[in-house]
Amino acid sequence: MASFTVENYLKTIFQLSLKAENGASTNAISEALGTKAATVSDMLKKLDAQELITYKKYQAVKLTNAGRDIAVNIIRKHRLWEVFLVEKLDFKWDEVHDLAEELEHIDSAELVNRLEGFLNNPKFDPHGDPIPDRDGNIHRLNQSPLTELKSGESGYVTGVKDSSREFLQFLDAQNIHLGNKIEIVEIFEYDKSRTVITGGKTLSLSNQVCKNLYVKTEN
Amino acid sequence: MASFTVENYLKTIFQLSLKAENGASTNAISEALGTKAATVSDMLKKLDAQELITYKKYQAVKLTNAGRDIAVNIIRKHRLWEVFLVEKLDFKWDEVHDLAEELEHIDSAELVNRLEGFLNNPKFDPHGDPIPDRDGNIHRLNQSPLTELKSGESGYVTGVKDSSREFLQFLDAQNIHLGNKIEIVEIFEYDKSRTVITGGKTLSLSNQVCKNLYVKTEN
DNA sequence: TTATATTTTTAGATAAGTCTAAATTTGAAT
DNA sequence: ATTCAAATTTAGACTTATCTAAAAATATAA
Ligand SMILES: [Mn+2]
Ligand SMILES: [Mn+2]
Ligand SMILES: [Mn+2]
Ligand SMILES: [Mn+2]
């Protein structure tokens, strides 16, 4: 059984690898985990010895299949627990991440599978991120940032790129939630801000907000 | 924040102290935790230094108020999670203990309080053990082992003294559950076994079974 | 291409929790 | 009161995960 620490390393490497094609660098892992680079360097050797990652000195690391399986399972649990917290215990979507960081390490396939059924087999977590199935498959939605839409186009909110509490609370304040329809009324070249219509209201969204909001257009 | 390890020591000391008036001995803790006595001895010094227990060499230890608070909170969480697993996820009462041993360490008062509400503020766990309230008060039921009943008397099953999987499965097999009425028909002095009536059926229970079954008599 | 900056690794320490083996203390039994 | 067994503690060691400081490798930039 992987320790909490090892599980966190693997999950972090998995997530960093989605961004950087060549794998996860020591420094990136260090920053993501809040652990010093020297410590990470040490740990990478151990993970390599356990054949959970492939590691060559001074090079970015990649997960082996075994490592990926563990990482994806942790993510599966994280996201299912987030759904539980929001759907059943009425937490808000900006309150659940840290709790899920703890719950994701509870070690029981039976528990997570039953939880999944209890929640009616959700496909996405409260932030729109896909929930891996029990075989580790992840069905990613074909979504794009709001910045891809042209004036006059519209889409439905499917997720967030930035899931910081600040951004989530901002969206709540603007009454923007997953599933909402958003129509682009006008794009201002000056600061790339957009005037949009959503939930019957007209509002202005900064470029930064638009970059961090994912929508699905009817194709 | 107490580590998982410290939490487990405190919980164990609390539970052992319910049985032995003078406190918990090194050996008893060692056996309960599956940790060598030498290790326990070392740890007791540390817990004393943190003022979570009072410890004098070669003497049984007792919890301080701070130590008791932590222990009771862990027990509260353990029992609430057990209710969740049985009531919401349909686990059987003999399947939940090990999972609760993990879940009890999830650190969030908000989570446990919401969980409690979600479960409709249960007062007892699936084994009949009382769930401490958020102030650490434990309302113990005035129950007695089935061996206390005389021939002709009856009571309602309120709990088990032995909550091993084997015993719980035995009770399931006999269709004996919390809340069932049990009437003592006859007590055999030879082996102290009893003939009882419960759930419309007559059956024979060994003295050992009767000692481990708690009932409440209408008084 | 050489110098500089950044990244990564190594070396040496530390803390928590555990173990085995040996020493000590306690308590029970002659 | 002495002896012996059981319980407990001490000593020394190990593992995991972490740190700081220093060295080495790589990448960048003049
Ligand atoms: Mn999260
Ligand atoms: Mn999420
Ligand atoms: Mn239990
Ligand atoms: Mn229980």
**Can you read off the two tokens belonging to residue B137?**
């008060």
Distance separating alpha carbons of residues B149 and B160, to the nearest angstrom: 16
Q: Which residue has the tokens 């299949």?
A: A65
Measured in degrees and rounded to the nearest 5, phi and psi for residue A11 equal -60, -45
The low-confidence residues of chain B, meaning pLDDT below 70, are: 219
Measured in degrees and rounded to the nearest 5, phi and psi for residue B105 equal -95, -5
- Give residue A21's pLDDT: 84
- Give residue A217's pLDDT: 87
Q: What are the tens digits of pLDDT across the range A172-188?
A: 999 999 999 999 999 99
Length of chain A: 219
Instruction: Write down all domains in chain B, each with its CATH number in brackets.
Output: 4-63 (1.10.10.10), 144-217 (2.30.30.90)
> What is the nearest nucleotide to A37, using C1' and CA?
C8
Which residues in chain A have Cβ-Cβ distances shorter than 8 Å to B3?
none
> What is the nearest nucleotide to B39, using C1' and CA?
C18
Residue in B89, B90, B111 nearest the CB of A99:
B111
Residue in B90, B99, B111 nearest the CB of A108:
B99
Classify A112 in phi/psi space as left (phi over 0), alpha (psi -120 to 50) or beta. alpha
Contacts of A113 (CB under 8 A, 6+ apart): A134
**Can you read off the two tokens belonging to residue B79?**
């029992």
Q: Which nucleotides of C are covered by protein (CB under 7 A)?
A: 7-12, 16-22, 25-26
- Give residue B1's pLDDT: 86
Q: Tell how many helices (H) and how many strands (E) occur in chain B.
A: 8, 8
> What is the nearest nucleotide to B38, using C1' and CA?
D9
- Give residue B199's pLDDT: 87
Distance, Å, B105 CA → D6 C1': 35
What's the CA-to-centroid distance between B128 and ligand 4, angstroms?
7
Q: If you average pLDDT over residues A38-56, what whole number do you get?
A: 96
- Give residue B219's pLDDT: 63
Is A22 a residue whose pLDDT tops 80? yes
Q: Which residue of A has its CA nearest to B96?
A: A111
What's the CA-to-centroid distance between B108 and ligand 4, angstroms?
20
Q: What is the mean pLDDT of chain A?
A: 95
Q: How many other CB atoms sit within 10 Å of the CB of residue B187?
A: 18
| pLDDT tier for residue A199 given thresholds of 50, 70 and 90 | confident
A34, A10, A4, A36: which is closest to A23 by C-alpha?
A10
**Can you read off the two tokens belonging to residue B32?**
């309960």
Q: Which residue has the tokens 């599978």?
A: A113
What's the CA-to-centroid distance between B1 and ligand 1, angstroms?
22
**Can you read off the two tokens belonging to residue B85?**
């697993």
- Give residue B20's pLDDT: 85
What count of CB pairs under 8 Å joins A to B?
31
Which residues in chain B have Cβ-Cβ distances shorter than 8 Å to A109?
none
Q: How many other CB atoms sit within 10 Å of the CB of residue B122?
A: 16
Is A1 a residue whose pLDDT tops 90? no
* Amino acid at site A104: E
- Give residue B118's pLDDT: 98
Distance separating alpha carbons of residues A128 and A83, to the nearest angstrom: 10
Distance separating alpha carbons of residues A127 and A94, to the nearest angstrom: 9
Distances (CA, A) of A27 to A13, A56, A204: 11, 15, 37
Contacts of A110 (CB under 8 A, 6+ apart): none
Cβ pair B106:A103 closer than 8 A: yes
Q: Which residue of A has its CA nearest to B87?
A: A118
Is A219 a residue whose pLDDT tops 70? no
Q: What are the tens digits of pLDDT across the range A96-151?
A: 999 999 999 999 999 999 999 999 999 999 999 999 999 999 999 999 999 999 99
